[in-house]
A and B are shown apart, each in its own frame.
Chain A
């Protein structure tokens, strides 16, 4: 990839922070998979394992007041936007202590307090919402950025094109983050798009767009900082194509006939966590002891989240009909 990349993290602490963030997502999702196999979690479960550098690199450049809109593969985005691991897991358990009271599940995480606006499980469905959030911020004169994550499969949907056009036409403060993991479920990009260079699609709407090595969290962060600064500075929407790879199945299980094992193995060699760890260790910015402590801390967070979820309870069935219409009227 020809994307410029930061030579080294700005400091050991920052590099370790990015590594910790990726590790938090990885370990939480590994636990999710385990809990799914134990039938604690049901429904669909789409894990992000392999793609952590994307969410970690981009979130590192955001302010708490910035908004994030994501997809059904959003556990990592929710966690790194500030939703607690406990409330994420409790949601997957279907418990009322979950971020959506157990009404959303794995695909529909949401937390207004941290400005995490879903968990939008219809492919490309989040893009129009994201430009609307950005429109409201722009109309109010607030200097906020809305970051919208979606997969490359979304580029085949009309909502993608309508949203890019509207965002550019109205110069809305949106950063479009296309997580190109090469497969929309089982359909390879080249089997679903006539134009496989996704940045070209965005450029057709006069949106500055460029590809980024999505396995290299430092490259992601550098590109995101440039794009977020431009968006926040009134430069209109920007678009990043983050070239990444999903190490696991689309959902919990699939036969993976759409890709060969050698390809998966090649990508796993560029595991984003291993890459950064090697970079930090090579630069003398991560000791064995620090790495061991980082793992212990992350494991402790995940264990506490499991404990929190296990102690949860389902919303009483007599509350079934709540939340269809707003319960407290606006003044």
Chain B
């Protein structure tokens, strides 16, 4: 076990996988000479050379498609898209090709592709550079979408993504790169599609992923201390496949849930989770599932406006109190 940052865990895992498997190679903007926009790939060009650490022009559709073609012949490309906002320029290749090739052609060609890309607002980067649009990909059968929140999961999920035979969108988060945590030394991949119950409790279930998994844990600790609440926290870790079983089992125990999401409310991941709980645990619910999400605006640059738009711990606490009030009314 070592203590390291989320960034370091990603870097070390990429390096270890490149050493383990000659078919693993990296492509993306500024990953080589520049050492990576967020320094995840720092030093890898010097170690592995231009063939396996391939700098690309600003051509997301072109190089993502090239990675898909290479993957069809058995290579295992790991593409870095500088931020998830720019993945929109590769949407045709991801949605119409990567996600379809295996099924549409009757299982003749696999696409073992990983697209690593960070999302996240809160850095005053404005509307085009602050989005969390992973649900676009989680919507598509054929894609897998994973979102680690801790350094340990950054490692275990990246190992799993690289070794997976299907296309995986690997969501990172700008605000998590410098966070630290314990990382196991062994190379055990996570199981893609398994959520983690990161805190057990009986009063209410908080559900989040990526940055919002941390907000959920912080709020749970805070309300344990201030109100004596016993809150269960689930870190989804994977958006597709979605671990519906863990969500349903938790709500059967707690009878209430609040979903935290770092994107817009309407048609969002919270809606999918609320529907999942409604389907699987309707008779156990003592209150409607509440969602805490971003304000429905293009994210403003101005700091006070940006802060007001993003979901906060206070918003979560408010939603928990409203939910527990409703539970109380029902139980009276």
A positions within 8 Å CB-CB of B: 98-104, 108, 110-112, 117-120, 122, 125, 127-137, 139-140, 158-159, 162-163, 165-166, 169, 322-327, 329-330
- Expressed in whole angstroms, the Cα–Cα distance for A325 and B65 within the complex equals 19
- Expressed in whole angstroms, the Cα–Cα distance for A113 and B267 within the complex equals 42
- Expressed in whole angstroms, the Cα–Cα distance for A118 and B106 within the complex equals 12
CB pair A128 B165 closer than 8 Å: no
> For residue B109, which residues in chain A have a CB less than 8 angstroms away from its CB?
110, 112, 117
CB pair A131 B106 closer than 8 Å: no
- Expressed in whole angstroms, the Cα–Cα distance for A17 and B56 within the complex equals 43
> For residue B326, which residues in chain A have a CB less than 8 angstroms away from its CB?
none
CB pair A132 B165 closer than 8 Å: no
Which 7 residue pairs across A and B have the least CB separation, nearest first? A132-B69, A128-B65, A162-B62, A101-B106, A110-B105, A132-B66, A136-B73
> For residue B56, which residues in chain A have a CB less than 8 angstroms away from its CB?
166
Query: Which chain A residue has the least Cβ–Cβ distance from B105?
Result: A110
B92 at the interface (CB under 8 A from A): yes
- Expressed in whole angstroms, the Cα–Cα distance for A322 and B74 within the complex equals 21
- Please judge, given known A-B contacts A120-B97, A323-B107, A324-B103, whether A128 and B64 are in contact too, CB under 8 Å: yes
Q: How far is the CB of B51 from chain A (nearest CB, A)?
A: 6
How many contacts A-B (CB < 8 Å)? 141
CB pair B103 A132 closer than 8 Å: no
B262 at the interface (CB under 8 A from A): no
CB pair A163 B65 closer than 8 Å: yes
Q: How far is the CB of A146 from chain B (nearest CB, A)?
A: 8
- Expressed in whole angstroms, the Cα–Cα distance for A121 and B106 within the complex equals 16
Give chain B's interface residue range (CB within 8 Å of chain A). 35 or more
- Expressed in whole angstroms, the Cα–Cα distance for A118 and B71 within the complex equals 15
A-B contact pairs, 25 of them (CB 8 A): A99-B106, A100-B108, A103-B103, A104-B104, A104-B105, A112-B105, A117-B72, A117-B109, A118-B105, A122-B96, A128-B61, A128-B93, A129-B72, A131-B65, A132-B68, A133-B69, A134-B69, A136-B69, A162-B59, A162-B61, A162-B62, A325-B142, A326-B107, A326-B110, A330-B110
CB pair A159 B104 closer than 8 Å: no
CB pair B68 A128 closer than 8 Å: yes
CB pair A330 B66 closer than 8 Å: no
> For residue A169, which residues in chain B have a CB less than 8 angstroms away from its CB?
57
**Additional A-B contact list (17), CB under 8 Å, known A122-B92, A129-B65, A133-B70:** A103-B104, A108-B105, A110-B108, A112-B105, A118-B105, A128-B61, A128-B62, A128-B97, A129-B66, A132-B72, A134-B69, A136-B73, A162-B57, A162-B63, A163-B66, A165-B59, A166-B56
**Residue from B57, B68, B104, B165 in contact with A166 in the complex, judged by beta carbons closer than 8 Å:** B57
- Expressed in whole angstroms, the Cα–Cα distance for A133 and B103 within the complex equals 19
Query: Which chain A residue has the least Cβ–Cβ distance from B71?
Result: A132
**Residue from A100, A129, A325 in contact with B68 in the complex, judged by beta carbons closer than 8 Å:** A129
CB pair A125 B69 closer than 8 Å: no
> For residue B74, which residues in chain A have a CB less than 8 angstroms away from its CB?
136
> For residue A327, which residues in chain B have a CB less than 8 angstroms away from its CB?
107
User: Most A CB atoms within 10 A — which of B66, B70, B109, B112?
Assistant: B66
CB pair A325 B102 closer than 8 Å: yes
B324 at the interface (CB under 8 A from A): no
Q: How far is the CB of B189 from chain A (nearest CB, A)?
A: 12
- Expressed in whole angstroms, the Cα–Cα distance for A41 and B16 within the complex equals 51
> For residue B97, which residues in chain A have a CB less than 8 angstroms away from its CB?
120, 122, 125, 128-129
Q: How far is the CB of B92 from chain A (nearest CB, A)?
A: 6
- Expressed in whole angstroms, the Cα–Cα distance for A128 and B101 within the complex equals 14
> For residue A329, which residues in chain B have a CB less than 8 angstroms away from its CB?
165
- Please judge, given known A-B contacts A326-B165, A329-B165, whether A165 and B62 are in contact too, CB under 8 Å: yes
CB pair A108 B104 closer than 8 Å: yes
**Residue from A122, A129, A324, A325 in contact with B69 in the complex, judged by beta carbons closer than 8 Å:** A129
CB pair A127 B65 closer than 8 Å: yes
CB 8 Å contact bits of B151-180 with A (1 = contact, 0 = none):
000000000000001100000000000000
B141 at the interface (CB under 8 A from A): yes
Q: How far is the CB of A281 from chain B (nearest CB, A)?
A: 41
Q: How far is the CB of B101 from chain A (nearest CB, A)?
A: 8
Query: Which chain A residue has the least Cβ–Cβ distance from B98?
Result: A129
- Expressed in whole angstroms, the Cα–Cα distance for A133 and B65 within the complex equals 10
Q: How far is the CB of B76 from chain A (nearest CB, A)?
A: 9
